[in-house]
Amino acid sequence: MSSLLIKHGTIVTASDSFQGDVYIEGEKVVQLGASLDNSADQTIDAHGCYLFPGGIDAHTHMELPFMGTFSSDSFESGTLAGLHGGTTSIVDFAIQTQGDSLEAAIQEWHRKADGHAVGDYAFHCAVTDFNDETRKEIPRIIDHHGINSFKTFMAYKGALMVDDRQMFELMKELVKHGGIITSHCENGDMVDHLVQKHLEEGKTEPRYHVLSRPAICEAEASGRVIDLAWQAGCPNYIVHMTCEEALERVRTATLRNQRVLVETCVQYLLLDESMYFQDGFEGAKVVMSPPLRKPKDQEALWAAINQNLVHHVATDHCPFCMDQKEMGIDNFSRIPNGAPGIEHRVELMYSEGVHKGRISLNKFVEVTSTLAAKIFGLFPRKGTIAVGADADIIIFDPDVQHTISAKTHHMNCDYSAYEGWQVQGKTRSTVLRGMVAVDDGQALVGAGYGQYLPRGKFNPLY
Ligand SMILES: [Zn+2]
């Protein structure tokens, strides 16, 4: 069994920071100490660097068939880009085709990922058609496939959206078997109405994307799913929350001691809706749902991280190249929704969060890794640096500055919404299950190194 010793780092977890060494055998951390002198096959000097648990991005879409095309990163290119930035595990969405089974979706996502992914991966199961047949599949999905999280879309009417009855019945079923409901919260009917109204008025530019999806659509749906989950007694996670109005619904729920788990994405913390109002077709680069919001919403989201109202910062990584975006050049509603993000999430959260004094180092680890592992049944195998855990470690140099550009990133996308951004701090090396996967920009592992991660049932004690 090969061994690796990482010396002289500052080990940071969600709760602790200390100077020390990490000794790894095979895929696992076997010893932590102030000064270890184990002989190892390989020794890395991490002087001046932080050692963070490998990043977990709990919201990605690789090779997603969507809006008449496919997202442009495969499991291979997308997870490798993640490793370059320090993300070692993803949770992608196996999305049911309406009229088809959940099992078929999961098989399809295994076909895309198995033998291809470079980083580790798990799946959420997105339920787009909840009926008596689907209901029967739930226990097997949880117990056999190791998938505890089930997503519902409250928007994308006619393609992915379920109604409240389907959602409520799904929740009741999940309570029985140890699952958790996750939801895309936007009022799909309200959005549909506004899209149609704008198109009828000849308003076709990218800016009408955000003008068709006001914050109230998201706040209403967030409040509704929180109430349904409360009534069903079902653990509840809201994906990609963007705005103050929706956070207010979460805060209200805490007054009755309801635990609502909330994800936001790095772009909602850092980018705002003014990008939709740029000249020409530029705004298409950030057409995603929900849309970017106002600066006051960014401030509310940063505050909510520190108030423990937001638990995870993901990406909703769903890249499309500009020639794909151009499917909507005459009609904003045909612009494929999504943007690239997986590669820079960890570095941006460090630079804009820790370096700029908005969040602590421990909070940074909590929202980029630890809580996602706890919520989705991967802890303590993933999400921390501890004896017995997988040796997934970012060696992060806080002194290196770099500039984000589509010319140098590893995602399969010909633009970056962060083009030209100066970033403080860089992932120097990424260790995945005891192997140095990326070192100084060089990939040292390839397609098929990534493993599927079956997950445990939702554990309310974490
Ligand atoms: Zn998504």
**pLDDT by residue (tens digit) across 167-211?**
999 999 999 999 999 999 999 999 999 999 999 999 999 999 999
Closest CA relative to residue 29, chosen from 462, 387, 408? 387
Centroid of ligand 1 to alpha carbon of 337 (angstroms): 9
Centroid of ligand 1 to alpha carbon of 168 (angstroms): 21
Centroid of ligand 1 to alpha carbon of 30 (angstroms): 36
Q: Is the separation of the CB atoms in 430 and 449 below 8 Å? A: no
Q: What is the CA radius of gyration of the chain?
A: 21
Straight-line distance from the first to the last Cα atom of the chain, in angstroms, rounded to the nearest whole number: 32
| Mean pLDDT estimate for the chain | 97
Centroid of ligand 1 to alpha carbon of 190 (angstroms): 20
CB environment 328-341: b (16+ within 10 A), e (fewer): beeebbebbbbbbb
Centroid of ligand 1 to alpha carbon of 286 (angstroms): 14
Residue 157's pLDDT is what? 86
Whether residue 380 is preceded by a cis peptide bond, meaning omega within 30 degrees of 0, is yes
Residue 48's pLDDT is what? 98
Centroid of ligand 1 to alpha carbon of 186 (angstroms): 12
Centroid of ligand 1 to alpha carbon of 289 (angstroms): 8
Residue 460's pLDDT is what? 87
Poorest-confidence range of 29-33, 435-439, 458-462? Answer: 458-462
Centroid of ligand 1 to alpha carbon of 292 (angstroms): 14
Residue 59's pLDDT is what? 98
Q: Which two tokens stand for residue 338?
A: 């999504």
Closest CA relative to residue 390, chosen from 369, 420, 405, 407? 369
Centroid of ligand 1 to alpha carbon of 22 (angstroms): 35
Q: Other C-beta atoms within 10 Å of 37: how many? A: 10
Centroid of ligand 1 to alpha carbon of 201 (angstroms): 29
Centroid of ligand 1 to alpha carbon of 59 (angstroms): 6
Residue 462's pLDDT is what? 79
Torsion-angle region of 63 (φ positive above 0: left; ψ -120 to 50: alpha; else: beta): left
The DSSP bridge partners found for residue 91 are 122
Output the CA angle 380-47-23, nearest 5 degrees: 40
* Residue pLDDT, tens place only, 334-356: 999 999 999 999 999 999 999 99
| pLDDT band, residue 461 (cuts 50/70/90) | confident
Q: Is the separation of the CB atoms in 88 and 82 below 8 Å? A: yes
* Residue pLDDT, tens place only, 23-54: 999 999 999 999 999 999 999 999 999 999 99
CA within 13 Å, CB half, 24? 25
* Residue pLDDT, tens place only, 98-141: 999 999 999 999 999 999 999 999 999 999 999 999 999 999 99
C-alpha–C-alpha distance, residues 245 and 346, integer Å: 26
40 burial type by CB count under 10 A (0-12 exposed, 13-18 middle, 19+ buried): middle
* Residue pLDDT, tens place only, 249-286: 999 999 999 999 999 999 999 999 999 999 999 999 99
Closest CA relative to residue 80, chosen from 454, 453, 451, 450? 450
At which residue do the structure tokens 């940071």 appear?
Answer: 12
At which residue do the structure tokens 């990534």 appear?
Answer: 450
Closest CA relative to residue 58, chosen from 191, 199, 238? 238
| pLDDT band, residue 432 (cuts 50/70/90) | very high
C-alpha–C-alpha distance, residues 103 and 142, integer Å: 11
Centroid of ligand 1 to alpha carbon of 338 (angstroms): 8
Centroid of ligand 1 to alpha carbon of 317 (angstroms): 7
Helix, coil or strand: residue 224: helix
Centroid of ligand 1 to alpha carbon of 29 (angstroms): 32
Closest CA relative to residue 416, chosen from 404, 428, 398, 430? 404
SS3 percent helix, strand, coil of the chain, rounded to 5, is: 35, 25, 40
C-alpha–C-alpha distance, residues 48 and 171, integer Å: 48
Any idea what DSSP says for residue 360? Answer: -
**H or E element: which one contains 87?**
strand 87-95
Centroid of ligand 1 to alpha carbon of 265 (angstroms): 10
Centroid of ligand 1 to alpha carbon of 288 (angstroms): 9
Read out DSSP for 255-315? TTT--EEEEEEHHHHH--GGGGGSSTTGGGGG--SSPP--HHHHHHHHHHHHTTS--EEE-
Centroid of ligand 1 to alpha carbon of 355 (angstroms): 28
Helix, coil or strand: residue 78: helix
All residues with CB under 5 Å from ion ligand 1 = 316
